Structure 1
Amino acid sequence: MSQERTTGRPTPVPRTWTTWLMVFGVAALVVLPLVIGAGDHLAEPFGGADGQAEETATEINPDYEPWFTPLYEAPSGEIESGLFALQAAVGAGVIGYYFGVARTRSRMRRASATDTTDGASRERAAPADDTPDTHH
């Protein structure tokens, strides 16, 4: 079912099944690795890629030394995870803001184009007034 806008065009109805499908997909991505036991053979099953890369480099070359040192070393893994989550949230907020602004601009452009088109057709339909404007 669709609702009518002032332009007379039907607006699409939100598809709740698509939303629920996406929610279940994300849930499956989170739960599936836990269910199948991914990472059970590792000491830290879901450790970061940085730690795994350093461990692999050390196995290949025992004299390996990192090129850079971190600017800030978190006192615990929980704080490090929290900072990473904060970084991800800020990034998601910036990306979400960008898409919101882009969508609003697109809607405003379409609305402006529709208003311009409607205005042009009204001007053509109205009789031309050739009398000079005498009001000052």
Structure 2
Amino acid sequence: MKTRMITGFALLAVILLAALPLLLVNGDFGGADGAAEEAITQINPQYIPWFQPLLEPPPETESMLFALQAALGAGMIGYVIGLFKGRKDTRRTDAQKD
């Protein structure tokens, strides 16, 4: 019963973490790069960047790469959690055999 309660709270937390930003942003979601560029030009309008990017992909490609990065990170975290759980279960099984 305790495990189900913890799972329920974790699921509720994940749903809230996903839904609250969407509800609180009010459609004005610019991103950190644009906000940083705007802040720099307000502080120092004569600022010249040190270098220009060699290749600037379209926004769709940037979004796809960001999603790919998030998916790979989530996969790695899931793998590590599964690895530790498998090791724990193996130790428990070995201890029961002895």
State the TM-score, normalized to the length of structure 2.
0.71
Moved over 6 A (4+): none
- 1:79 matches 2:61: yes
What RMSD, in angstroms, separates the aligned Cα atoms of the two structures? 2.8
Q: Which has the higher contact order (CA 8 A, sep 6+)?
A: 2
Identify which of 18, 25, 28 aligns with 1:45: 28
Once the two structures are superposed, what CA deviation does each residue of 1:81-110 show, in whole Å capped at 9, x if it has no partner? Answer: 121011100111011111211221222233
Taking a change above 3 Å as real, the CA distance of residues 56 and 97 of structure 1, as seen in their structure-2 partners, is same
Specify which of 79, 82, 88 is matched with residue 100 of structure 1. 82
2:43 to 35, 40, 60: 60
Task: Please list, as runs of the form range in 1=range in 2, the aligned pairs for 1:12-23 lying within 5 A after superposition.
Answer: 14-15=3-4, 17-23=5-11
Q: Percent identity?
A: 52
Equivalent residue for 1:91, pick from 73, 79, 91? 73
Q: Deviation of residue 47 (structure 1)?
A: 2.3
Gaps of 5+ in 1: 2-12, 119-136
Please tell me the residue identity of whatever aligns with 2:21: P
Aligned partner letter, 2:37: E
For normalisation by structure 1, the TM-score amounts to: 0.55
Q: Which residue identity lines up with residue 21 of structure 1 in the other structure?
A: F
User: Whose helix proportion is higher, 1 or 2?
Assistant: 2
Q: Measure how far apart 1:56 and its partner are.
A: 1.0
